[in-house]
A and B are shown apart, each in its own frame.
Chain A
Amino acid sequence: VIPADFEYVAPTTLAEAITALGQAGEDAKILAGGQSLIPVLRLRLAFPTTLVDLSRVAELRGVTDEGDALVIGAMTKHSDVIDDPLVQQHAPLLAVATSTVADPAVRHRGTFGGALAHADPAGDLAAVALALDAELVAEGPGGRRTIAAKDFFVDYLETTLSPDEILASVRVPKLAGAWGVRYEKFNRVAQAWAIVGVAAAVRMEGGSVAEARIGLTNMGSTPVRPSGVEAALVGASDKAAVAAACASVADGLNPPSDLGGQADYRAHLARVLTARAVAHAAGMTS
């Protein structure tokens, strides 16, 4: 439809952006790639007074190697994350999950940081950030703050970012050793949100699971890290053992019931898809 009236500013540096955001007051919104915000504006579900557009802030884009971690600028587009050689080498789970986001048009507009700050539990990347122990770097008038992914996502569309802070970058620790990865996304048409998604990274030693990291998409009001299942998977050496370890993955969770699926179906999907994601990441054929 047609959005209501709003002011628009487009700073060119992060410092300017922080200032602009402070001046605009608490009903301002940050415009990153716009792939979630603009539909919301068009449907008149939100009425921000000012949009602070970060698309001209060059310092918020790009991927850098900082030794034990990659630092990914918040305004790095999904398509650039997918194609980045550093990401492909050191954070392949992020590359494969990002390649399933929506459609090519969205991936060429939407940004990594925008997706995380929006904190939609149906979005694919929050579960990946959680599984990889990513750290989110926020900048505000009070300076810089680093937030662990497990502390960042608070509730549905809610994070620990304060209204005057901007998510500047995301620090993704490199996976050391030989890891296999898989993102199992279950949706009915290719460009749709995940009904359930499972991000898995698995390190094998001597034919059995030595370490597993798992993040669940759309199984609650935030992304979920099923630590108990990760622990139970250690030592599993075939699909049956993996499936047994994954059987409890939805225990205690409260997934949504909506047009995409009822909660009990989502719980079932989580069990099936987690087992598949882990087995695939582990390279198990039987």
Chain B
Amino acid sequence: MTEQLDAGLVAGVIEDHPDALSKPYAGGELGRGRRRKEDAKLVTGQTNWTDNITLPGLLHMAVLRSPMAHARVLSVDVSGALEMPGVIAAFSGADLADVMGASMPCAWPVTPDMVSPAHTPLAIDEVRYVGDGVAVVIARDRYTAADALEAIAVEYDQLPAVVDMEVAIADGAPLVHSDKGTNTCFVFDFPGAGADYAETVREAGDDAVVVRRRFRQQRLLPTPMEPRGVVVAPIAAADEFTMWSTTQIPHILRVMLALTTGIPEHKLRVVAPDVGGGFGAKLNVYAEEVLALVVARKLGRPIKWTESRSENYQATTHGRDQIQDIEIACRKDGTLLGLKVELLADMGAYLQLITPGVPVLGAFMFPAIYKMPSYHFTCTGVFTTKTPTDAYRGAGRPEATYAIERIMDELAAELGRDPMELRKQNWIRHEEFPYEMVAGLTYDSGNYEAATEKAEQMFDMAGLRAEQARRRESNDPVQLGIGISTFTEMCGLAPSRVLGSLSYGAGGWESASVRMLPTGKVEVVSGATPHGQGHHTAWSQIVADSLGVPFEDVELVAGDTKSSPKGMDYVYDPENFSYPHGTHLCAVEIDTETGFTSIRKYVCVDDVGKIVNPVIVEGQIHGGLAQGIAQALYEEAVYDAEGNLTTGSLVDYLVPAAPDLPHFDTGRTETPATSNPLGVKGVGEAGTIASTPAVMNAVVDALRPFGITDIDMPATPERVWRALQGKDMSRATAGTVSYGGSQTASTGGAASSEGAAL
């Protein structure tokens, strides 16, 4: 009876509102190039960015940050701030010591004996980087809060800054954490799944050709368009809290906040509203999230904090920052014997959520797409008095790909071989999949030949090589360089079994549920939280095809721990990663009179498996290329000797924009992944990972006739010009044994074949 009544009611409503009824399903959504349905509201601002959220009685928090890289905090006097009209409260680290937790979490203890220093949300006794918080002010408005920071008096006793990783691990270096007795966070030793590297090279005897290089992964500032922010609304009577945060990980954030503050997990709801980019820097648990929560609890009032760009650069995690000592060995015929990787990885002052795990993720990717019998990886994590590092677009895998792709070019030069031919000789052929790699992963599928063949057709390799020869011949002031990068990465992180074996402190599974609504509309409730990837559109396409409903009738519900719980039902935990791959080809022109590099042509063919939406894939590739090219040519976080971030704003930290980037010629091949039913692979990191080595190989290729074998990133005009000083074409030394020695500012970050012999 009730059902009949309801059905009649629904029918009546539909008669009045025919648009509410589902249109017939048109079919064929997978692979269709749809515009992103979320973009209209995002680009017009008709949405809830965290900083748009306002609540009755909202108070504003501001954080006083250390102006020194390293100092003892002798005293913090907030009384001046408290006297200002409009200031509600002000707290030092000591004031909040009882409630803010003993340490913010690091979820990735990469070795059992890893040194894991306490990391309080506000410093209490000691500050360890410029930007480390020492006090907070709570005021009625943002302006008053900012003014009140200047009324807080802090006495510091300056301690020596520790900026350089090699200095940090040398005997007698000043300690970042004096109670730990060392600046070494961990030493991760991974001998691979194959033969012993040293033994393999020794056995090859005179047939072995060995090339060593030192590469630097400069520190990068992730720079999402939207800086971080957080709003916390308490219900004091129930001791319940809702937090809106610019986070990529609302579920993990809730767990970690509960563990850190002692607020019961079920009394805490975390919402990620629309998030304006993250690139890994919002995959974290931040001091301000903890502080806003505990202060809201203490005051019983809603609290908002929004960072400025300057704060974002000081207090949001940075990316990369490795010194890579790479040794590769092959037989004289070019057959690879093995790879030895020794990394120094800069942790910064503290361990954030997965700081130590980032370089370890890369451990599996150094052998890339190449067959080799031996591999040895070691990584030393190092504390310095700088902003902590953590995940940044690719997280360990771009660093690995850069090293292997750069040294494959160096090995080719050493052998006098064409760099593409050397790659072809050593990569996994398509009929050899599945292939068990020397690093222990099993690549399920791929077709490097097909992607490369397509890229070469699009690139006009023969024509560009001929032009390069002409320019070299005529001593043209503008030289041409051609760079290759092939790559693969492990995507869909993924098998919990594998992550567990790496001591990763969370599962790799993902969950979703589908709700059918009475009018035929569909809600997809996803645990994955979008922050720019186009989930609303892509998920809708997948669900439309699965259920036979129109694309328009599907809505995504995500980013809220209340409505999209990371439940254990319908959990999907694949058996393997997916392995997207691709071939990127880049031609650069270098003005040898000024050192300026410009990209003449960029071709990439990516294999991201089955494609759900080619428009989104294209956008992800373009954005990724921009970020990877930025690392090669533009971006670099620079610290001075006192530990000040001198690239503290967008005036000095050069993020390229459309006028600085070339046209991208993109193509695809489609080799379905076997590890998931859709056959899909990741696409978000592809452009970033592959483009950096493609550009830098092109830069070095242009300069190799001058005897130059490496340039530090970014390849600024000044670095290139300094490398060219005193060199000319007649000193070309292609084919001689060489390696880049230590690179310092005095050599402008360039290495040459005159540096040293093996």
CA distance A4 to B84 in the complex (A): 14
Are A1 and B308 in contact, CB atoms less than 8 angstroms apart? yes
**A192-B143 CB under 8 A given contacts A43-B310, A265-B721, A268-B721:** no
| Cβ-defined partner of B654 (8 Å) among A2, A5, A43, A189 | A189
**CB of B660 within 8 A of chain A?**
yes
| Binary flags per residue of A256-271, CB closer than 8 Å to B gives 1, else 0 | 0001011001001100
Candidate in A43, A195, A262, A265 with the most chain B CB atoms within 10 angstroms: A265
Indicate if A244 sits at the interface (CB-CB under 8 A).
no
Interface assignment of A154: CB less than 8 Å from any CB of chain B: no
| Pairwise interchain contact A189-B660, C-beta atoms closer than 8 A | yes
Interface residues of B in 554-612 (CB under 8 A from A): 593-594, 596
A9 within 8 A of B: no
Q: With A1-B310, A193-B651 in contact, is A188–B717 under 8 Å at CB?
A: yes
In contact, A186 and B594 (Cβ under 8 angstroms): yes
Interface contact A5-B143, CB-CB below 8 Å: yes
Would you call the interface of chain A mostly helix, strand, loop, or mixed?
Answer: loop
B505 CB to nearest A CB, Å = 35
Residue of A nearest to B145 (CB): A2
- Flag whether B414 is at the interface (Cβ < 8 A): no
B593/A259 in contact, CB under 8 A: no
Q: Mark A228-266, 1 if CB is under 8 A from B, else 0.
A: 000000000000000000000000000000010110010
Is A13 close to B, CB under 8 A? no
| B651 A2 Cβ-Cβ under 8 A | no
Q: Is A272 an interface residue (CB 8 A)?
A: yes
- What is the minimal beta-carbon distance from B231 to any residue of chain A, in angstroms? 18
Set B594, B638, B646, B660: member contacting A190, Cβ < 8 A: B660
In the complex, A148 Cα to B308 Cα: how many Å?
A: 41
Question: Across the interface, which residues of B come within 8 angstroms of A261, CB to CB?
Answer: 717-718
Q: Which residue on chain B has the smallest CB distance to residue A186?
A: B594
Cβ-based interface call for B655 (8 A): yes
Least Cβ–Cβ distance between B659 and chain A, in angstroms: 4
B728 in the interface (beta carbon within 8 A): no
Chain B 299-321: CB-based contact to A (< 8 A → 1; otherwise 0): 00000000010110000000000
- Cβ 8 A contact of A272, one of B142, B147, B593: B593
Judge if B634 is at the interface, Cβ distance under 8 Å.
yes
Q: Does B182 contact A (CB under 8 A)?
A: no
Scoring A103, A269, A273 by chain B CB atoms within 10 A of each residue's CB, the highest score goes to A269
Task: Give chain B nearest CB distance to A262 CB in angstroms.
Answer: 7
**Quick check: A4 and B147 within 8 Å, CB to CB?**
yes
Proximity string of chain A (26-56) to chain B, C-beta cutoff 8 Å, 1 when within and 0 when not = 0000000000000000110000000000000
Q: Which of A5, A191, A193, A272 has the most CB of B within 10 A?
A: A191
Residues of B within 8 A of A190 (CB): 657, 659-660
Quick check: B594 and A188 within 8 Å, CB to CB? Answer: no
Q: CB within 8 Å of A: which of B139-162?
A: 142-143, 146-147
Q: How far is the CB of A3 from chain B (nearest CB, A)?
A: 8
B652, CB-defined interface residue at 8 Å: yes
How distant is the Cα of A216 from the Cα of B656 in the complex, in angstroms?
25
With A and B bound together, what is the CA distance between A248 and B425 in angstroms? 54
| Known contacts A2-B146, A43-B310, A262 near B718 by CB under 8 Å | yes
Known: A1-B310, A259-B647, A268-B721. A189 touches B146 (CB 8 A): no
Chain A residues in 8 Å Cβ range of B649: 43
Q: Report the minimal beta-carbon distance from A187 to chain B, rounded to whole angstroms.
A: 9
Known A-B contacts A190-B659, A259-B652, A265-B718; the reply to A2 vs B142 at CB < 8 A is yes
- Closest chain B residue to A43, Cβ basis: B310
B511-559 residues at the A interface, CB under 8 angstroms: none
A2 adjacent to B721 (CB under 8 Å): no
Among A2, A262, A272, point to the contact of B594 (Cβ < 8 A): A272
Say yes or no: A191-B657 contact (C-beta < 8 A), given A1-B146, A259-B652, A268-B721. Answer: yes
Chain B window 693-717, contacts with chain A (Cβ cutoff 8 Å), 1 for yes, 0 for no: 0000000000000000000000011
Q: Chain A residues near B651 (CB, 8 Å)? A: 192-193
- Provide the bound-state CA to CA distance between A190 and B596, in Å: 13
Residues of B within 8 A of A268 (CB): 721
State whether A188 and B654 are in contact (beta carbons under 8 Å apart), knowing that A262-B718, A265-B721 are contacts in the complex: yes
Cβ–Cβ < 8 Å partners of A4 in chain B: 146-147
A272 to B310, CA, bound (A): 35
Q: Which residue of A lies closest to B653 (CB)?
A: A259
A189-B718 CB under 8 A given contacts A259-B647, A269-B594: no
Interface pair B143/A188, CB less than 8 Å apart: no
From known contacts A265-B718, A269-B594, A272-B594, infer whether A189 and B143 are also in contact, taking CB-CB under 8 Å. no
Complex interface: chain A residues within 8 A of B652 (CB) = 259
Which chain B residues border A259 with CB–CB below 8 Å? 638, 646-647, 652
A189 and B656 in contact (CB under 8 A), knowing A262-B718, A269-B594? yes
Q: Cβ of B654 and Cβ of A192 under 8 Å apart?
A: yes
Q: How far apart are the CA atoms of A265 and B719 in the complex, in Å?
A: 10
Q: How far is the CA of A192 from the CA of B649 in the complex (A)?
A: 12
Once the chains are docked, how many angstroms separate the CA of A5 from the CA of B147?
9
Provide the bound-state CA to CA distance between A268 and B142, in Å.
Answer: 47
B130–chain A nearest beta-carbon distance, Å: 15
- In the bound complex, residues from chain A placing their C-beta under 8 Å from that of B657 are 103, 189-191
CB pair B718 A2 closer than 8 Å: no
With the chains together, A10 CA to B633 CA distance in Å?
44
Query: Across the interface, which residues of B come within 8 angstroms of A5, CB to CB?
Result: 143, 147
What's the nearest-Cβ distance from chain B to residue A118, in Å?
14
**CB–CB A188/B634 < 8 A:** yes
State whether A2 touches B634 (Cβ < 8 A).
Answer: no
Kindly state the separation between the CA atoms of A121 and B311 in the bound complex, as whole angstroms: 28
Q: Which residues of B contact A42 (CB under 8 A)?
A: 308
CA A4 to CA B151, docked complex, whole Å: 13
A1 to chain B, nearest CB (A): 4
What mask results when residues 1 to 31 of chain A are scored 1 for a CB within 8 Å of chain B, else 0? 1101100000000000000000000000000
Q: Which of A45-72 contact B (CB under 8 A)?
A: none
Complex contacts, A265 vs chain B, CB 8 Å: 718, 721-722
Against A, the Cβ 8 Å flags (1 = close, 0 = not) of B624-649 are 00000000011000100000001101
Bound-state Cα–Cα, A204 to B722, Å: 36
CB closest chain-B residue, reference A266:
B718
Q: How many whole Å from A49's CB to the nearest CB in chain B?
A: 15
Give, as a whole number of angstroms, the nearest-CB distance from B367 to chain A.
Answer: 34
A190–B656 Cα distance when bound, in Å, is 8
Within 8 A of B (CB), among A162-182: none
Q: CB-CB < 8 A to B311: which residues of A?
A: 1
1/0 contact trace for B147-181 toward A, CB 8 Å?
A: 10000000000000000000000000000000000
Complex alpha-carbon distance, A2 and B638, angstroms: 25
Q: Which residue of B lies closest to A42 (CB)?
A: B308
CA distance A259 to B652 in the complex (A): 7
Query: How distant is the Cα of A147 from the Cα of B92 in the complex, in angstroms?
Result: 54
Closest beta carbon of chain B to A243's beta carbon, Å: 10
Q: How far apart are the CA atoms of A259 and B654 in the complex, in Å?
A: 11
- State how many angstroms separate the Cβ of B67 from the closest Cβ of chain A: 13
A191 to B655, CA, bound (A): 10
CA distance A186 to B718 in the complex (A): 12
> What residue in chain A is nearest B714 (Cβ atoms)?
A188
Shortest CB-to-CB span from B519 to chain A, Å, is 44
User: Which of B634, B647, B718 counts the most chain A CB atoms within 10 A?
Assistant: B718
Seed contacts A189-B659, A190-B660; 19 additional CB < 8 Å A-B pairs: A1-B308, A1-B310, A1-B311, A2-B142, A5-B143, A5-B147, A43-B649, A103-B657, A186-B717, A188-B716, A189-B655, A189-B660, A190-B657, A191-B657, A195-B717, A259-B652, A265-B721, A265-B722, A269-B594
24 contacts between A and B (CB under 8 A): A1-B146, A1-B311, A2-B146, A4-B146, A4-B147, A5-B143, A5-B147, A43-B310, A186-B594, A186-B596, A188-B654, A189-B634, A189-B655, A189-B656, A190-B657, A190-B660, A191-B659, A192-B651, A192-B654, A195-B717, A259-B638, A265-B721, A272-B593, A272-B594
Nearest 5 A/B pairs, CB to CB: A190-B659, A2-B146, A1-B308, A189-B654, A189-B660
Where the two chains meet, the residues of A that have a C-beta atom closer than 8 Å to any C-beta of B are 1-2, 4-5, 42-43, 103, 186, 188-193, 195, 259, 261-262, 265, 268-269, 272-273
